[in-house]
Copies of this chain bind each other. A is one copy, B any other.
Amino acid sequence: MRRVAVIGVGMSKFGELWNMSFRDIVISAGTEAIEDANLEGREIEAMYIGNMSGGRFISQEHISALIADYSGLASINVPSIRVEAGDASGGVALKEAYISVASGIHDIVIAAGAEKVTDVGFAGEIMDSTIDQEWEAFPGATLAGLYAMMARLHMHRHGSTEEDLAMISVKNHRNAVNNPKAQFRREIRVQDVLSSPYTAEPLKMLDAAPISDGASVLILASEDVARKYTDTPVFIDSIIQSSDFIALQSREDILEMRAVKTAVRKALRMAKCDIGDVGVFEFHDSFTIAEMLLYENVGLCSSGEGHLLVREGEVEIGGRYPVNPSGGLKACGHAVGATGIRQAGEIVLQLRGDAGKRQVDAERGMAVNIGGTGATAVVSVFRR
Contacts and interface: CB of A to CB of B under 8 A. Distances in A.
A134 B85 CA distance: 25
Instruction: Report how many copies the assembly holds.
Output: 2
Contacts of A126: 55, 61
Interface stretch (A202-210, A239-247, A289-297): A239-247
A221 to B, nearest CB: 17
A68 interface: yes
Nearest to A102: B103
A103 B99 contact: yes
Interface string A32-62: 0000000000000000000011111011111
A179 to B, nearest CB: 28
A78 interface: yes
A104 B102 CA distance: 10
Interface in A365-384: 371-372, 375-376
A243 B79 contact: yes
Given A66-B246, A245-B69, A247-B69, A61 B86 contact: yes
A262 B68 CA distance: 15
Nearest to A247: B69
A199 interface: no
Contacts of A68: 243, 246, 375
A84 interface: yes
A83 to B, nearest CB: 6
A69 to B, nearest CB: 5
Interface in A75-97: 75, 77-86, 92, 95-96
Contacts of A86: 61-62, 65
B75 A62 contact: no
Given A21-B134, A69-B246, A129-B61, A85 B81 contact: yes
Nearest to A46: B241
A48 B79 CA distance: 17
B129 A62 contact: yes
A310 to B, nearest CB: 28
> What are the nearest 10 A-B pairs in CB distance?
A103-B103, A62-B86, A65-B375, A79-B241, A55-B55, A74-B243, A61-B129, A62-B130, A68-B243, A77-B262
